[in-house]
Amino acid sequence: MSTVVETEVEASARARRAADFFELTKPRLVLLVLLTTLVGYYVALTGPVSWTALLAALTGTTLCAAGSQALNQFIERETDALMFRTRTRPLPEGRVHPHEGLAFGVGLTVIGLAILWFATNPLAVELAALTVVTYLFLYTPLKSRTPLATMAGCVPGALPPVIGWTAAGQSIGVGGAALFAILFFWQVPHSLAIAYLYRSDYQRAGHQLLPVVEPDGKSTGRQILVNSLALFVVSLAPAIIGLAGRWYFVATVVTGLPVVAAGLRFARVANADTARAVLITSYLALTAQLTVLALDKTG
């Protein structure tokens, strides 16, 4: 009987440990990376699907993203311990040793890049490497130095669909640039709304994000509104350049205008409710537009 109990305890401990490492990857963010990479590949496709290239693009990009998230938490483990929303993560709580988190993140990233190298093409590998480098060595250190960190962080976040695009055999071109612009400008209002909601937490950790530096929300509101308008414009690009059809154009207008309206409301009155409205409308708009883009592509 005692042997059975010990086995169950060991199994439970292994499951909790696996869950801790899984948490290091930030699975919800990685899921978004996976979906945008898939859309990028599919929209770029002009012939039959190369299942090897597709699976490699999805797997490699996902592993690079997961590894980057783990490495980001390794770098920020001390500041994460100061924030209410992050202090229960595996590294700040000591459930995962820093050396383990470092090895885990490096391992995932290297494996992801290797998969892309052997099964896609050099351009996709270079873009994946650029994603990792800009996220870890540009965005992460800038968070404690300047509000411009948000803009820097939008670069790695906008590259996954371009990785998918190039993995399909395309050069970046106008189409890849349009996908990059959509994800870039989507992240600005989305990220600033999150930063506003958790500005006291970010301040506690010493992060110099815009809502921390200027807590009245006026500058944050202007940036959210301006970038929401920019997002609306660039989101129309796939229809304008012939990458998608009229249904995509209609869907972009219908889902994009509420994002602009939410940005305008936040710019007028910055509070938790208007910030959440920016988050919700921007997330729903991106989901709808990427879905319709895949369904209504012209190639």
Indicate the DSSP class of residue 137: I
Distances in Å between the Cα of 75 and the Cα atoms of 30, 79, 136, 209 are 18, 9, 8, 18
Distances in Å between the Cα of 12 and the Cα atoms of 5, 15, 16, 19, 91 are 10, 5, 6, 11, 20
Which tens digit of pLDDT belongs to each residue from 137-185? 999 999 999 999 999 999 999 999 999 999 999 999 999 999 999 999 9
Where does residue 165 rank: exposed (0-12), middle (13-18), buried (19+ CB within 10 A)? Answer: buried
Mean pLDDT of 242-269: 97
CB 88 within 8 A of CB 13: no
Q: What is the pTM of this model?
A: 0.94
Which tens digit of pLDDT belongs to each residue from 189-230? 999 999 999 999 999 999 999 999 998 889 999 999 999 999
Query: Residue 275 is inside which H or E element, if any?
Result: helix 272-295
Instruction: Examine the pLDDT at 4 and tell me if it is beyond 60.
Output: no
Tokens standing for 51?
A: 């299942």
